[in-house]
Chains A and B, each alone.
Chain A
Amino acid sequence: KQEVTQIPAALSVPEGENLVLNCSFTDSAIYNLQWFRQDPGKGLTSLLLIQSSQREQTSGRLNASLDKSSGRSTLYIAASQPGDSATYLCAVRGFKTIFGAGTRLFVKA
């Protein structure tokens, strides 16, 4: 049974800091791994999707990596801004999609 864990559960950083969010999963038989952003009281917005055959994806200040053999993905956020404050969720898609519990990020101005 696939299990997805996100560490840390919460993170507070000053503006401008580079940061890394972690996602680990137990079953490497996946189609893809997706990172989402969720603002309070809102739905999920897709940030990056990494296919199982890929190692990383980049979008602006965001870079996500995937290491299937170790069951790990990281989301790197460069030069963080207060507008980055949100909950970040990773989702691993195999036969079904399993979500981690998320990392709540607060970027202080």
Chain B
Amino acid sequence: NAGVTQTPKFQVLKTGQSMTLQCAQDMNHNSMYWYRQDPGMGLRLIYYSASEGTTDKGEVPNGYNVSRLNKREFSLRLESAAPSQTSVYFCASIRGQVEGETQYFGPGTRLLVL
């Protein structure tokens, strides 16, 4: 049981390049999330998927797209990377939208856009 996994761990991109961040969970969770974390700030929600087949925008969706490939996998795509997208990206999952459920986080992807 690996929990939430993310690939890659580190990535350096040039401005204008594209890439996809991968996230997978093996806990049979329904909801999945993508956050970004910048220095001195808390995590900010980029996109989320409440259930398989649905995706919705979070606080900071501009410049990103997502795909909920199946129940296990939720990917985040940067079509044309910008230096402002330099950040640490975390994927999280939760079983359902009830009070007692805990979010589980992946180890993060550190992205540098030059």
Contacts and interface: CB of A to CB of B under 8 A. Distances in A.
Interface in B43-101: 43-45, 48, 58-59, 90, 92, 97-101
**Range of interface residues on A (Cβ < 8 Å):** 20 to 34
Interface residues of B, number: 25
B-side interface mostly: loop
Interface of A, helix, strand, loop or mixed by DSSP:
strand
Contacts of B45: 96-98
Nearest to A95: B97
A31 B43 contact: no
B41 interface: yes
Contacts of B100: 32, 49, 51
Interface of A: 4, 6, 31-32, 34, 36, 42-46, 49, 51-53, 89, 91, 93, 96-102
Interface of B: 33, 35, 40-45, 48, 58-59, 90, 92, 97-108
